[in-house]
Amino acid sequence: MNSIPLHLEMGSHLHVLLPCLLRTRGAVLELGCGCYSTAILSLYSQSRYCRTVETNSFWLQKVKNFFPNWCAVTEWQGHDFRLVECYRTAMLEDRFWDVVFIDQKADERAESAYRLRTRSRFTIIHDTERDYLDEILNGYRYRYDFREIHPHTSVGSDTDDLVWLAEHIQCMFPPHGAVQ
């Protein structure tokens, strides 16, 4: 039996991804599959179109093997898994995405975010403690940085003020010493 690695660092983005999924109803794009995010998207693909794009065939199969029953059901119900040679040439702009989750190779994240900026409502980027992502993130009209758990996750949006997300996170992670 396959076991899911339960490392907090690997699922730190869920605190941001889940609220964005709950706030939207449209298509979702994931660049770079993962044990946590892909599982969540498989569940959400029951009611919306979700696409996971990956360049590493070994990793894609490994993640799909964690959830063999989910993948068998969801592939025909809305979760579209695509193995591509490289993200740069992958067809990503064929629709508007309510949520784009970027967790691909680190050196390709900024390019993908820039490429999809006008094609998404919420762009979520994992591992944003690296300075080179600030340029693209600062370009969004609205930005929220989730820094309560390492690695950090950021959300950019040109359409939606992200105050609601900050308030949601503050409920889950009250400031130290705050009365609950």
Domain ranges, ordered by start, for the chain: 10-172
For residue 42, what pLDDT is reported?
A: 82
Q: What is the mean pLDDT of residues 113-141?
A: 94
Q: Looking at per-residue confidence, does 122 or 73 come out higher?
A: 122
Q: What is the mean pLDDT of residues 127-140?
A: 91
Q: Is the pLDDT of residue 128 over 60?
A: yes
d(CA 60, CA 37): 12
The alpha carbons of the chain give a radius of gyration, in whole angstroms, of 16
Tokens at residue 157, please? Answer: 């949006």
d(CA 60, CA 71): 11
Distance linking the first and last C-alpha atoms of the chain: 40
pTM for the full predicted model: 0.88
Give every CB contact of residue 117 below 8 A, 6+ residues apart in sequence: 123, 136, 139, 140, 156, 158
Give every CB contact of residue 51 below 8 A, 6+ residues apart in sequence: 27, 28, 29, 30, 79, 80, 81, 82
CATH 3.40.50.2300 matches 10-172: no
Which string of b and e fits 25-38 if b means at least 16 CB within 10 Å? eebbbbbbbbbbbb
**Contact indicator for 53, 76 with CB cutoff of 8 Å:** no
d(CA 43, CA 155): 21
